[in-house]
Amino acid sequence: MNGIQPERNVVKKDHRKVRLRFALAYPSPYSVGMSNLAVRLLYELINSREDCLCERFFFSGFRTPPVSLESKLPLSAFDVVGFSLQHEIDYLRMLDMLDSSSIELFASRRKRPMVIAGGPAASSNPAPLEDFIDLFVIGESEPVLDYLLESLSEGQNPRQLAGSRPGLYASGLEAERGRVDSLEDAPHAVRQVHPVSGQGFSSTFLLEVSRGCNRGCRFCLECFLYRPRRERSFRKVREILEQGLHLSGLDRVTCISSAFFDHREIGDILAWMRDRRLRYSLPSMRISKTGRDVAELLAAGGQRTITIAPESPSSRLREVINKPLDESELMGLLEASRRAGIRSLKVYFMVGIPGEDMSDLEHLRPMLAGAISAGFDPRSIHVSVNPMIPKGNTPFQWARIVSESEYKSRVSRMRQICSDLGIRRFESMDYRWGAVQASLSISGREASSLLFLALKDISEGGQGDLGTWRRVLKGIGRDFETIQPTYSEDDALPWELIKGGPTKSLLLREYRRAFGGQV
Ligand code: SF4
DSSP characters for 410-426?
Answer: HHHHHHHHHHHTT--EE
Which is the closest atom of ligand 1 to the Cα of 323?
Answer: 6
Asked if 52 and 96 sit in the same domain, the reply is yes
Alpha helix segments (H runs only) across 395-517:
404-420, 431-442, 447-459, 466-475, 504-516
Is residue 191 assigned to a domain?
no
CATH of the domain at 168: 3.40.50
Is residue 310 assigned to a domain?
yes
Residue 126's alpha-carbon distances to 100, 136, 249, 318, in angstroms, are: 22, 8, 38, 30
Asked if 342 and 256 sit in the same domain, the reply is yes
| Most ligand 1 atoms within 8 A of CB, residue of 124, 214, 221, 222 to mutate | 222
Asked if 249 and 291 sit in the same domain, the reply is yes
Closest CA to 132 of 486, 409, 440: 440
Asked if 157 and 249 sit in the same domain, the reply is no
C-alpha 284/C-alpha 304 separation (Å) is 13
Asked if 20 and 133 sit in the same domain, the reply is yes
Asked if 164 and 226 sit in the same domain, the reply is no
> Is the CB of 217 inside a 6 Å radius of any atom of ligand 1?
yes
Asked if 270 and 343 sit in the same domain, the reply is yes
User: Taking the complete model, does pTM exceed 0.75, yes or no?
Assistant: yes
Q: What is the mean pLDDT of the chain?
A: 94
In the prediction, which pLDDT does 406 show? 97
Is residue 182 assigned to a domain?
no
385's CB contacts (< 8 A; 6+ apart) are 348, 349, 350, 351, 411, 414, 426, 427, 428, 429
Which is the closest atom of ligand 1 to the Cα of 311?
Answer: 7
Residue 405: DSSP 8-state: H
Which residue lies with its CA nearest to atom 1 of ligand 1?
Answer: 215
> What strands lie across the sheet with 279-281, from one edge to the other?
205-207, 252-255, 279-281
Closest CA to 23 of 69, 71, 82, 67: 82
Is residue 89 assigned to a domain?
yes
Closest CA to 358 of 422, 314, 309: 314
Single-letter code of the amino acid located at 407: Y
Q: Which of 176, 193, 218 is the last residue of a domain?
A: 176
Single-letter code of the amino acid located at 94: M
Which is the closest atom of ligand 1 to the Cα of 220?
Answer: 8
Distance 262 CA to ligand 1 centre (A): 11
Which is the closest atom of ligand 1 to the Cα of 322?
Answer: 6
List residues bridging with 350 in a β-sheet: 386
C-alpha 151/C-alpha 307 separation (Å) is 44
> Is the CB of 222 inside a 6 Å radius of any atom of ligand 1?
yes
pLDDT digits (tens, 9 = 90+) for 444-470: 999 999 999 999 999 999 999 999 999
| Most ligand 1 atoms within 8 A of CB, residue of 221, 226, 258, 308 to mutate | 258
Q: Strand 20-26 and strand 52-58: pairing?
A: parallel
Asked if 111 and 229 sit in the same domain, the reply is no
- Give the number of domains in the chain: 2
Supply the range of the domain harboring residue 266: 204-443+484-514
In the prediction, which pLDDT does 516 show? 75
In the prediction, which pLDDT does 199 show? 62
List residues bridging with 70 in a β-sheet: none
Q: Where residue 2 falls among pLDDT bands split at 50, 70, 90?
A: very low
Residue 246's alpha-carbon distances to 191, 243, 249, 312, 408, in angstroms, are: 9, 5, 5, 42, 49
Closest CA to 46 of 172, 175, 193, 225: 193
Is residue 184 assigned to a domain?
no
Q: Where residue 46 falls among pLDDT bands split at 50, 70, 90?
A: very high
Distance 156 CA to ligand 1 centre (A): 39
C-alpha 157/C-alpha 154 separation (Å) is 9
366's CB contacts (< 8 A; 6+ apart) are none
Q: Give, to the nearest 10 degrees, the angle between helix 431-442 and helix 404-420.
A: 130
C-alpha 259/C-alpha 411 separation (Å) is 28
| Most ligand 1 atoms within 8 A of CB, residue of 210, 215, 286, 391 to mutate | 215
Asked if 159 and 213 sit in the same domain, the reply is no
Closest CA to 356 of 309, 303, 414, 308: 414
pLDDT digits (tens, 9 = 90+) for 183-229: 999 999 999 999 987 666 668 999 999 999 999 999 999 999 998 99
> Is the CB of 229 inside a 6 Å radius of any atom of ligand 1?
no
Is residue 375 assigned to a domain?
yes
In the prediction, which pLDDT does 201 show? 62
- Mean pLDDT, range 315-339, rounded to an integer: 93
> Is the CB of 213 inside a 6 Å radius of any atom of ligand 1?
yes
> What strands lie across the sheet with 381-387, from one edge to the other?
305-311, 344-351, 381-387, 425-428
Tell me: pLDDT of 293 over 80. no
Which residue lies with its CA nearest to atom 2 of ligand 1?
Answer: 258
> Is the CB of 311 inside a 6 Å radius of any atom of ligand 1?
no
Asked if 161 and 209 sit in the same domain, the reply is no
C-alpha 497/C-alpha 485 separation (Å) is 19
Residue 316: DSSP 8-state: H
CATH of the domain at 502: 3.80.30.20
> Is the CB of 350 inside a 6 Å radius of any atom of ligand 1?
no
Distance 224 CA to ligand 1 centre (A): 9
In the prediction, which pLDDT does 142 show? 97
CB distance 387 to 434 below 8 Å: yes
Which is the closest atom of ligand 1 to the Cα of 223?
Answer: 5
| Most ligand 1 atoms within 8 A of CB, residue of 211, 218, 223, 519 to mutate | 223
Asked if 393 and 304 sit in the same domain, the reply is yes
Distance 213 CA to ligand 1 centre (A): 6
Residue 401's alpha-carbon distances to 54, 163, 427, 486, in angstroms, are: 39, 33, 19, 10
pLDDT digits (tens, 9 = 90+) for 348-406: 999 999 999 999 999 999 999 999 999 999 999 999 999 999 999 999 999 999 999 99
| Most ligand 1 atoms within 8 A of CB, residue of 262, 323, 325, 348 to mutate | 323
C-alpha 228/C-alpha 211 separation (Å) is 8
> Is the CB of 225 inside a 6 Å radius of any atom of ligand 1?
no
Asked if 223 and 139 sit in the same domain, the reply is no
Is residue 11 assigned to a domain?
yes
Is residue 346 assigned to a domain?
yes
Which is the closest atom of ligand 1 to the Cα of 286?
Answer: 1
